[in-house]
Structure 1
Amino acid sequence: MNEFLRGTGVALVTPFKNDGTIDYDGVTSLVEFCIKGKIEYLVVLGTTAESATLTKSEKKALVAHIVQVNKKRLPLVIGIGGNNTQAVIDEIDSTDLSDFAAVLSVVPMYNKPSQEGIYQHYKKIQDHAPIPVLLYNVPSRTAINMTAETTLRLAQLDNVIGVKEAVGDFTQVLQIIKERPEGFLVLSGDDALALPAVAAGGDGVISVIGQGFPDEFSEMIRLGLAGETQKAFSELYKLLPAVDHAFAEGNPAGIKHMLKTKGVCGDAVRLPLINVSDELAEKIENFIAN
């Protein structure tokens, strides 16, 4: 099994300055905060990073900075996905992946391919990728669900090592866990359902909220993996309000305000995203204060 990706990975935000440029000091602070908080691995250029608004040169500079700050202390996963299969392959081919453990690639959005189209998309990607591939199913963003059957079919491919599953249908998650081949990772993409998925036999989570509460969230998942479910769920219930607040007005605006409140980095986002409302900001600040 790919043990290095069990536990808690976090989909890092991209801190920005108020003028919209990348805040590299904020990036450093965030990476150090996650490492100190005992997160198992870091995910770079995921959706939470606002990667859709980053230029190619910004992506390259951001990746290089995170690699330099991390200093090989934690495994790194890089997000490379899209709805143009050849463009995804070209980006993989043109990216230095030597510091990364895996590529996280989202189901093609907007095009709404058939299940066979999704399969062929990923098959071509895994054929070209020099490192393992993690599937990422998030129908709320892509407008198409990769079914359990398609995921399990892809799980038979040599270079596909797991799935980040954010389907919202727990029955589908259970089917994948039940029928997956040995060594195939099932990672939750839903912070609220991560522990139930682990309790059902899943391997962990790629989390948003985990970077705001790295100690608490990663320990909760470790307890779940160790079978200490009562303690783990006690921790989850404490964190549930933070999960609600993080996504109430869109990701990553909520988690960025949490990070700002904790003094980790600023809360600036790029349009079309905007900062959280004053009402939500107050709820976040009160939760952290208490």
Structure 2
Amino acid sequence: MQSLIGTGVALVTPFNKDLSVDVDGLKRIVNFQIDNGIDYLVVLGTTAENATLTNDEKELVIKTVIDANKKRLPLVLGVGGNNTQKIIDELKTRDFSEFEAILSVSPYYNKPTQEGIYQHYKAISEASPLPIILYNVPGRTASNMLPSTVIRLANDFKNIVAIKEAAGDIVQAMTLIKNKPKDFLVISGDDMVTLPMILAGGSGVISVIAEGFPKEFSEMVHLGLNRKVDEAYKIHYLISDAIDMIFEQGNPAGIKEVFKHLGLAENTVRLPLVNVDENLSNRLKNYIDKLHKK
């Protein structure tokens, strides 16, 4: 899966002020990624506020991204949840012809055992027409998919090809990298530890910050993959303050504020999320202004 090496971005769903999906804004965001060096796009992940979209809105988002992308970058579709059968039903009925892989989050809220997580992904693997990227994000799911479970899945199912690892634990990531099958990809899901994970043997990132600063972050990732450590860390430290800021008051409220300042889309989010406060908005604007003067 060479197409999943490098910088992927978890696309937001921009909304108009009346809370409807902003189709034109989404097209601008997609083109902004493509024009600035991003390697692939992830549609309908957590950052897309997927949980608040209707089925019709999800279809609109998918169609808009496909139309805007024009086959220029590989696309990954988020197909996950805590109802295994519902995921299987979608895998059997959806047209995946425009997509390279699916990203499927470990079940949230239910808090399954490691065996439950294994059986969940086993069922998805047997139903999926596409390669599968596992997604471990304990901060949202309330359960950690342990390296032993990931390695078991990677060894048992050929179409489970990668993991987006977002436990925020570099030691856990290194354990995965050390023990994984040769061609299995360990992809960072945590922007702040992306570079250390790459230098430890990771394959890149599915990022939020890269969506707002695609040129800088993708350059850092590619420098890291090419073992140009000093140059990569120079960019890491340039952008680290922005990573802290965009997550300070919730995702995607922070990155949507960046898009507002860049003139790409409104900062509108849907409840239960709310906009960032004025103080953070001003700090983000000041950061953007300084970065673009360099």
Q: Normalized against structure 1, the TM-score is what?
A: 0.99
Measured in 2, the distance between the counterparts of 1:173 and 1:132 equals 21
Output the aligned Cα RMSD. Answer: 0.6
Deviations 1:48-101 (A, max 9, x none): 000000011110111011101101000000001000100111122222111000
Measured in 2, the distance between the counterparts of 1:195 and 1:264 equals 27
Measured in 2, the distance between the counterparts of 1:82 and 1:213 equals 29
Measured in 2, the distance between the counterparts of 1:210 and 1:94 equals 32
Measured in 2, the distance between the counterparts of 1:118 and 1:82 equals 12
1:261 and 2:261 are equivalent in the alignment: yes
1:38 and 2:31 are equivalent in the alignment: no
1:169 and 2:169 are equivalent in the alignment: yes
1:209 and 2:209 are equivalent in the alignment: yes
Q: Which one-letter code corresponds to 1:31 in the other structure?
A: V
Deviations 1:181-229 (A, max 9, x none): 0110100000000010001010000000001000000000000000001
Give the 3-state SS of the residue equivalent to 2:14 in structure 1. coil
Alignment: residue pair count = 289
Measured in 1, the distance between the counterparts of 2:277 and 2:60 equals 31
Once the two structures are TM-superposed, the CA of residue 242 in structure 1 deviates from its matched residue by 0.5
Q: Which one-letter code corresponds to 1:269 in the other structure?
A: V
Question: In the alignment, what sits opposite 1:53?
Answer: 52
Q: Which one-letter code corresponds to 1:260 in the other structure?
A: K
Measured in 1, the distance between the counterparts of 2:115 and 2:60 equals 36
Give the 3-state SS of the residue equivalent to 1:9 in structure 2. strand
Question: In the alignment, what sits opposite 2:71?
Answer: 72
Q: List 4+ stretches of structure 1 deviating above 6 A.
A: none
Question: In the alignment, what sits opposite 1:229?
Answer: 229
Measured in 1, the distance between the counterparts of 2:13 and 2:91 equals 21
Measured in 2, the distance between the counterparts of 1:82 and 1:172 equals 23
Once the two structures are TM-superposed, the CA of residue 258 in structure 1 deviates from its matched residue by 0.5
Once the two structures are TM-superposed, the CA of residue 264 in structure 1 deviates from its matched residue by 1.4
Deviations 1:116-147 (A, max 9, x none): 00000001001100010000000000000000
Give the 3-state SS of the residue equivalent to 1:241 in structure 2. helix
Measured in 1, the distance between the counterparts of 2:67 and 2:33 equals 15
Give the 3-state SS of the residue equivalent to 2:32 in structure 1. helix
Measured in 1, the distance between the counterparts of 2:33 and 2:20 equals 22
Deviations 1:30-51 (A, max 9, x none): 0000000110000000000000
Q: Which one-letter code corresponds to 2:96 in the other structure?
A: L
Question: In the alignment, what sits opposite 1:193?
Answer: 193
Question: In the alignment, what sits opposite 1:100?
Answer: 99
Give the 3-state SS of the residue equivalent to 1:155 in structure 2. helix
Measured in 1, the distance between the counterparts of 2:92 and 2:60 equals 17
Question: In the alignment, what sits opposite 1:109?
Answer: 108
Give the 3-state SS of the residue equivalent to 1:17 in structure 2. coil
Measured in 1, the distance between the counterparts of 2:30 and 2:288 equals 20
Measured in 2, the distance between the counterparts of 1:196 and 1:22 equals 36
Measured in 1, the distance between the counterparts of 2:275 and 2:72 equals 32
Give the 3-state SS of the residue equivalent to 1:220 in structure 2. helix
Q: Which one-letter code corresponds to 1:128 in the other structure?
A: A
Question: In the alignment, what sits opposite 2:251?
Answer: 251
Measured in 2, the distance between the counterparts of 1:130 and 1:193 equals 32
Measured in 2, the distance between the counterparts of 1:33 and 1:15 equals 14
1:178 and 2:178 are equivalent in the alignment: yes
Q: Normalized against structure 2, the TM-score is what?
A: 0.98
Question: In the alignment, what sits opposite 1:285?
Answer: 285
Measured in 2, the distance between the counterparts of 1:92 and 1:18 equals 33
Measured in 1, the distance between the counterparts of 2:213 and 2:170 equals 24
Measured in 2, the distance between the counterparts of 1:91 and 1:258 equals 33
Q: Tell me, which stretches of 5 or more residues in structure 1 are unaligned? A: none
Measured in 2, the distance between the counterparts of 1:284 and 1:77 equals 29
Measured in 2, the distance between the counterparts of 1:30 and 1:94 equals 28
Measured in 2, the distance between the counterparts of 1:235 and 1:247 equals 19
Q: Which one-letter code corresponds to 1:160 in the other structure?
A: I
Measured in 2, the distance between the counterparts of 1:68 and 1:197 equals 33
Measured in 2, the distance between the counterparts of 1:95 and 1:247 equals 32
